[in-house]
Amino acid sequence: MSEKLKIGISIGDVNGVGLEVIIKTLADSRIFDYCTPIVYGHTKVASFHRRTVQVHDLNFNVIDSPANAHHKKANIINCWEEDVKIELGAANETGGKYAFLSLQRATDDLISGHIDALVTAPINKDNIQNEEFNFPGHTEYLQQRDNSPEVLMFLVSDTLRVGVVTGHIPVAQVAQSITAEKILAKLKLMNTSLKQDFWIRKPKIAVLGLNPHAGDNGLIGNEEKDIIMPALEEARANGILALGPYPADGFFANGAYMQFDAVLAMYHDQGLIPFKQISFESGVNYTAGLSFVRTSPDHGTAYDIAGKNKASEVSFREALFQAIHIVKHRRETAVLNENPLQFSKLSRDRD
């Protein structure tokens, strides 16, 4: 097995379930066989949550840099010095302040190459806002930090992968924000990610319509004919196998999504509602298009169950493993691009 990857973990809102699912995941020592986890937060905050969820056999190894991480332990970097008043289930300024400090430090190390990937626990997109974080969410913040011109919010699981053309914007702005150029850009990102990050050689992508019944030949809107279909034709001309547009309701209801490697939805809820219905326990939010790898669980802060020991760690654990797999796939792809003769050796060595 090659050297284990260092996976950074930002703790999210300290009043939510982020640290609960992190602790439950890292309490399984088998995790250390696959990666070296580094949590960005504070030992006192972590200890508070550890007692709350009654996990007694997990001890954090305190370090000041990823270079000092212990490869068989859960490591933690203290990102602040002061004591924090935790109010489980409360959406307040404290939760946002320390979520940002954790995210900022982790992103700094990610961009500097000190960690190999980042898994982000859920934030409250309202209380995290400040002079340095004026974004709708993680995706846009990381895009700005990476100076990336285009990214794709990509929800992935074993049974379904869904990306969206428009992300965290009001529904009233969706139609005017959709252009053929934007659809084509997202399709290119999705196609590249499926090949590079998921090792799908010839991706087959379904594209959903914007309007009910995919416009019904113009009876319920012209976006399908005027915008989406020309984008699909251009995508196919560029060697991307993109089909549609499909009516969203029937497409998911009759299981048509199982015939495709990924689905491109036009807006947030059109894609995420069916995804979470189908893959909620194991779904992962992946940001495609960045120069680095970032994943997260597909749930939020869950204030209503914070501190009640009810949060499932399955999605967070999947996000951690997905980050590991994607980093390895990217590195193997880079090797193959340099020397295609290495393919058979890499295939044997993969774990």
- Report pLDDT digits (tens) over 284-293: 999 999 999 9
Q: Is residue 336 part of a domain?
A: no
pLDDT digits (tens, 9 = 90+) for 99-141: 999 999 999 999 999 999 999 999 999 999 999 999 999 999 9
Tokens of 4: 């284990």
Closest CA to 69 of 97, 29, 98, 40: 40
- Asked whether residue 13 falls in the same domain as residue 140, the answer is yes
Q: Is residue 248 part of a domain?
A: yes
Report angle CA 154, 297, 327 to the nearest 5 degrees. 65
Instruction: Quote the CA–CA distance of 49 and 206 in Å, as a whole number.
Output: 42
| C-alpha distance from residue 308 to each of 16, 54, 104, 282, 295 (Å) | 11, 11, 28, 21, 25
Q: Is the pTM of this model over 0.85?
A: yes
pLDDT at residue 120, rounded to an integer: 98
Phi/psi for 294 (5° steps) reads: -135, 130
Phi/psi for 178 (5° steps) reads: -90, 120
- Asked whether residue 300 falls in the same domain as residue 261, the answer is no
Write down the H helix ranges in 27-137.
Answer: 43-52, 93-111
Q: Which domain holds residue 76?
A: 1-148+290-305
pLDDT at residue 1, rounded to an integer: 42
- Asked whether residue 202 falls in the same domain as residue 116, the answer is no
Find the helix or strand (DSSP H, E) in which 120 lies. strand 117-120
pLDDT at residue 345, rounded to an integer: 47
Q: Among all chains, which residue has been given the structure tokens 């309202």?
A: 126
Instruction: Quote the CA–CA distance of 346 and 69 in Å, as a whole number.
Output: 27
Assign 163 to helix, strand or coil: strand
- Asked whether residue 298 falls in the same domain as residue 239, the answer is no
Instruction: Quote the CA–CA distance of 278 and 52 in Å, as a whole number.
Output: 30
- Asked whether residue 232 falls in the same domain as residue 269, the answer is yes
Instruction: Quote the CA–CA distance of 2 and 47 in Å, as a whole number.
Output: 32
Q: Is residue 11 part of a domain?
A: yes
- Asked whether residue 25 falls in the same domain as residue 165, the answer is no
φ/ψ region of 105 (left if φ > 0, alpha if ψ in -120 to 50, else beta) reads alpha
Q: Is residue 335 part of a domain?
A: no
Q: Is residue 75 part of a domain?
A: yes
- Asked whether residue 8 falls in the same domain as residue 143, the answer is yes
- Asked whether residue 10 falls in the same domain as residue 31, the answer is yes
Sign of CA dihedral 312, 31, 67, 51: positive
Do 293 and 118 meet the contact criterion of CB atoms below 8 Å apart?
Answer: yes
Burial of 153 (0-12, 13-18, 19+ CB in 10 A): buried
pLDDT at residue 340, rounded to an integer: 55
Instruction: Quote the CA–CA distance of 21 and 305 in Å, as a whole number.
Output: 12
Do 116 and 30 meet the contact criterion of CB atoms below 8 Å apart?
Answer: no
Do 298 and 120 meet the contact criterion of CB atoms below 8 Å apart?
Answer: no
Tokens of 310: 């009810």
- Asked whether residue 43 falls in the same domain as residue 15, the answer is yes
- Asked whether residue 131 falls in the same domain as residue 205, the answer is no
pLDDT at residue 195, rounded to an integer: 95
CATH of residue 205's domain is 3.40.718.10
- Asked whether residue 42 falls in the same domain as residue 141, the answer is yes
Report angle CA 118, 123, 124 to the nearest 5 degrees. 160
Q: Is residue 88 part of a domain?
A: yes
Based on the structure, what is the number of domains in the chain?
2
Torsion of CA 138, 105, 34, 315, to 10 degrees: -30
- Asked whether residue 186 falls in the same domain as residue 259, the answer is yes
Q: Is residue 209 part of a domain?
A: yes
For the chain, list residues with pLDDT below 50.
Answer: 1, 343-351
Do 118 and 38 meet the contact criterion of CB atoms below 8 Å apart?
Answer: no
Q: Is residue 39 part of a domain?
A: yes
Give the DSSP letter of residue 28: S
pLDDT at residue 300, rounded to an integer: 94
